[in-house]
A and B are shown apart, each in its own frame.
Chain A
Amino acid sequence: MALPSLTGKSLRPARPLWAVCGEKMLELLIRFCGVSAIIFVLAIFFFVFKEAAPVLWSKNFNLTQFLCSPEWYPTSVSNVRYGVLALIVGTACVSGLAVFLAVPFSLGAAVFISEFCGPKLKEVLKIVIELLAAIPSVVWGFIGLTVTSKIVQQMTGAPVGVNILNGGIILALMCVPIIASISEDALKAVPDTYREAALALGATRWQIVYRVLLPAAKNGLLAAVLLGVGRAVGETMAVLMATGHAVNIPHGILDSVRTLTANIAAELGEAPAQSEHYRILFLTGILLFFITFVINVTADFVVRGIRQK
């Protein structure tokens, strides 16, 4: 061990050069990996856009028609039309219904877990939520196709069971665990002093919940709902299997629709590589990328709103 000396030399025993260099290399690698998430997001955008780009200058494509026309005839010989409005409406209907169904239940469950139940039940319910969130989307889609669609058909008398209602129910079941767990976190983040102050005033737990906790946690809850919407919009396999396959603007809750995601999954296999149809599907991917990007960034800003307060 080196003792303090007056010679001005380092007090530490010198490490071998290879150890110092190795550590520098490793730190460089760590930094690179740290930035990798940004690289991946940019790469996703770049490669999807790269495949989509040539179609933007094609004579069959025009942006207004793409976004505002419900006519999706990508394989028509005489008159090719690429309008994704019906798909956008389909996505909006299914995810709207799913979120509408999921939000009350998941917020209720989150409040119950966070405020009303004992520690043991709380543990169990949190584990159940985690397991629910883990069920693969293809299994949900399979359930939608074989189980709930039959129930929907029997209950409503609809001609086909795979429709908006069925897809909405399945997507709601998928969204509930996500919204519930994030909302539970948001409720947990409310300081206990708030609860104590309300208790001291004689409030019951229900009063605490709707007078104190919900206003205090509203940003977190909003973010939870937004992330649920993001999940619903981006879900592919479940809606592919559970919503039917009709590209049309629905007139009721019992019509079959096709969503943006399901459309890509259904047609990408058939579209010849590098064809116009194929590129249009990549363009739909860009559209989806932007929708979820906006939702995620908004949710993040909403959450940051609380932290700054």
Chain B
Amino acid sequence: MNSPRIPSATTGTESGSASRFTATPFVRKKERREAAAKWIFFSMAAAMVLPLLWLVSYIVVRAMPSLSLDFLLDPPLRGMTEGGIWPALVGTIYLIVVALAISTPIGVLAAIYLNEYARENWFHRVISMAVINLAGVPSIVHALFGLGAFVYAAQFGYSVISAALTLAIMTMPVVITSTREALASVPRSFREACWNVGATRWQTIKAVVLPNSVGGILTGIILEVSRTAGETAPIMFTGAVFYKAVERGDFFPYQLNDQCMALSMHLFALSTQVPGVKPSLPFATAVILLGVVLAVNATSITLRVWLRNRKKW
């Protein structure tokens, strides 16, 4: 309802009906400006979309020579100048799984607290402010925090667990915000009906609020997957390494206290640190990373649209 339809005066004059007003120069000027503004804003929106399409297609074209199933399954070969990305792919999956296992419960419960328990007062504001700041702290500061807290203070060392903890704290605001939105979209009357038959607060949440918002929470968690997959800076100094020898197609190469490779880190390493890389290799890595992230996001968006269409209230 944000773009009200405006009956265009030009169509009115063109239809030639005598009862209509004819356009005065003032009106014509007004309409010329309107048309110009529309095109300017349209081109600005297009300027935002086109680079995306162009860049993605350019990267895909450059990556073509390397893209194959072997590229996915092979470990990097000959000093990382050839071969595939298998260890990095598995490492990224490890990081995602561990980070999600840590941040999802805390994030969802925090959102439940903020939406269902907390009253609108200064404390609530402080928590919201903290969530905003947690999301706004630069990723490299999260990396410093992870290094100081998990690698040294907690003595996890450079490991999957340190990196995943850092990622978990960094991406938690994503879960908190989207879960809060999902919970807030459940009408208050549902809760009141439940309270009125004598349910406690938690029983209401369990029986009414969560089942009605689980889809929205899921979209948030999926979004978090994509954030976790893409981040580089926080894992650079907490657990990701340039290279680790892994067999082709080995699904369980890492322990929780091992260092691991990760796709994002691998892309960084290939494009800046390794001399003599086959030129299409970093492009192919970028395509896989971009593909994973965009596919995950597309899933989240599709789920959201589907949920919105079958919403009952």
Chain A residues within CB distance 8 Å of chain B: 12, 23, 26-27, 29-31, 33-38, 40-41, 43-44, 47-48, 50-51, 104-106, 108-109, 111-118, 122, 125, 127-132, 134-139, 141-143, 145-147, 173, 176-177, 180, 187-188, 192, 195-196, 199, 204-207, 209, 227, 230-231, 233-237, 241, 261, 264-265, 268-269, 273, 281-282, 285, 288-289, 292-293, 295-297, 300
Residues of A within 8 Å of B149, CB to CB, are: 43, 47
For the complex, what is the distance from the CA of A127 to the CA of B201, rounded to whole Å? 36
Residues of B within 8 Å of A180, CB to CB, are: 48
- Asked if A41 and B3 make an inter-chain contact with CB atoms under 8 angstroms apart, the answer reads no
- Asked if B110 and A141 make an inter-chain contact with CB atoms under 8 angstroms apart, the answer reads no
- Asked if A128 and B49 make an inter-chain contact with CB atoms under 8 angstroms apart, the answer reads yes
Residues of B within 8 Å of A141, CB to CB, are: 268, 271
Residues of B within 8 Å of A282, CB to CB, are: 144, 148
For the complex, what is the distance from the CA of A116 to the CA of B33, rounded to whole Å? 13
Interface string of B41-80 (1 = CB under 8 A from A): 1101101110110010011000000000000000000000
For the complex, what is the distance from the CA of A36 to the CA of B105, rounded to whole Å? 12
For the complex, what is the distance from the CA of A206 to the CA of B38, rounded to whole Å? 8
- Asked if A142 and B267 make an inter-chain contact with CB atoms under 8 angstroms apart, the answer reads yes
B198 at the interface (CB under 8 A from A): yes
- Asked if A41 and B264 make an inter-chain contact with CB atoms under 8 angstroms apart, the answer reads no
Knowing A40-B169, A41-B134, A109-B45, say if A116 contacts B140 (CB, 8 Å). Answer: no
- Asked if A33 and B110 make an inter-chain contact with CB atoms under 8 angstroms apart, the answer reads yes
- Asked if B145 and A48 make an inter-chain contact with CB atoms under 8 angstroms apart, the answer reads yes
Q: A134 touches which one: B36, B45, B49, B294 (CB < 8 A)?
A: B294
B236 at the interface (CB under 8 A from A): yes
Closest to B297 in A: A134
Minimum CB–CB distance for B140 against chain A, Å: 4
- Asked if B201 and A33 make an inter-chain contact with CB atoms under 8 angstroms apart, the answer reads no
For the complex, what is the distance from the CA of A143 to the CA of B265, rounded to whole Å? 15
Q: Could you pull out 21 A-B pairs where Cβ atoms are within 8 angstroms?
A: A23-B203, A30-B112, A37-B130, A47-B144, A51-B148, A108-B45, A111-B41, A116-B38, A125-B45, A136-B232, A139-B289, A139-B293, A143-B59, A195-B4, A199-B4, A204-B33, A205-B37, A236-B232, A264-B140, A292-B138, A296-B132
Residues of A within 8 Å of B49, CB to CB, are: 125, 128
Q: B141 touches which one: A48, A130, A192 (CB < 8 A)?
A: A48
For the complex, what is the distance from the CA of A24 to the CA of B126, rounded to whole Å? 24
Residues of B within 8 Å of A297, CB to CB, are: 129, 133
B137 at the interface (CB under 8 A from A): yes
- Asked if B34 and A204 make an inter-chain contact with CB atoms under 8 angstroms apart, the answer reads yes
Closest to A41 in B: B130
- Asked if B48 and A128 make an inter-chain contact with CB atoms under 8 angstroms apart, the answer reads yes
Residues of B within 8 Å of A116, CB to CB, are: 3, 37-38, 41-42
Q: A30 touches which one: B109, B138, B283 (CB < 8 A)?
A: B109
Chain B residues within CB distance 8 Å of chain A: 1-4, 6, 30-31, 33-34, 36-38, 40-42, 44-45, 47-49, 51-52, 55, 58-59, 105-107, 109-110, 112-114, 117-118, 126-127, 129-134, 136-145, 147-149, 152-153, 169, 172-173, 176, 198, 200-203, 223, 226-227, 229-233, 236-237, 264-265, 267-268, 271-272, 282-283, 286, 289-290, 293-294, 297-298, 301
What are the 6 A-B residue pairs with the smallest beta carbon separation, nearest first? A136-B230, A34-B113, A108-B44, A234-B138, A33-B109, A112-B41
Minimum CB–CB distance for A105 against chain B, Å: 5
For the complex, what is the distance from the CA of A36 to the CA of B149, rounded to whole Å? 16
- Asked if A31 and B113 make an inter-chain contact with CB atoms under 8 angstroms apart, the answer reads yes
Summarize A's interface: helix, strand, loop or mixed. Answer: helix
For the complex, what is the distance from the CA of A268 to the CA of B158, rounded to whole Å? 14
Residues of A within 8 Å of B38, CB to CB, are: 112, 116, 205-206
- Asked if B140 and A204 make an inter-chain contact with CB atoms under 8 angstroms apart, the answer reads no
Q: A261 touches which one: B138, B201, B267 (CB < 8 A)?
A: B138
- Asked if B230 and A23 make an inter-chain contact with CB atoms under 8 angstroms apart, the answer reads no
Minimum CB–CB distance for A270 against chain B, Å: 11
Closest to A303 in B: B132
Residues of B within 8 Å of A122, CB to CB, are: 3
Closest to B37 in A: A206
Knowing A47-B145, A131-B298, say if A138 contacts B130 (CB, 8 Å). Answer: no
For the complex, what is the distance from the CA of A234 to the CA of B40, rounded to whole Å? 31
For the complex, what is the distance from the CA of A209 to the CA of B38, rounded to whole Å? 11
For the complex, what is the distance from the CA of A235 to the CA of B275, rounded to whole Å? 26
Knowing A105-B48, A138-B232, A142-B271, say if A209 contacts B37 (CB, 8 Å). Answer: yes
- Asked if B136 and A295 make an inter-chain contact with CB atoms under 8 angstroms apart, the answer reads yes
- Asked if A112 and B44 make an inter-chain contact with CB atoms under 8 angstroms apart, the answer reads yes
Closest to A299 in B: B132
For the complex, what is the distance from the CA of A297 to the CA of B134, rounded to whole Å? 12
- Asked if B6 and A142 make an inter-chain contact with CB atoms under 8 angstroms apart, the answer reads no
Knowing A106-B48, A288-B141, say if A37 contacts B230 (CB, 8 Å). Answer: no
Greatest chain B CB density within 10 A among A23, A37, A138, A145 is at A37
Residues of B within 8 Å of A145, CB to CB, are: 271-272
For the complex, what is the distance from the CA of A268 to the CA of B147, rounded to whole Å? 10
Additional A-B contact list (12), CB under 8 Å, known A135-B52, A142-B271: A23-B200, A35-B127, A125-B49, A136-B232, A142-B268, A146-B271, A146-B283, A147-B59, A236-B138, A261-B138, A293-B133, A297-B133
For the complex, what is the distance from the CA of A52 to the CA of B44, rounded to whole Å? 44
For the complex, what is the distance from the CA of A233 to the CA of B137, rounded to whole Å? 10
For the complex, what is the distance from the CA of A237 to the CA of B202, rounded to whole Å? 43
- Asked if A132 and B106 make an inter-chain contact with CB atoms under 8 angstroms apart, the answer reads no
- Asked if A265 and B117 make an inter-chain contact with CB atoms under 8 angstroms apart, the answer reads no
For the complex, what is the distance from the CA of A80 to the CA of B271, rounded to whole Å? 31
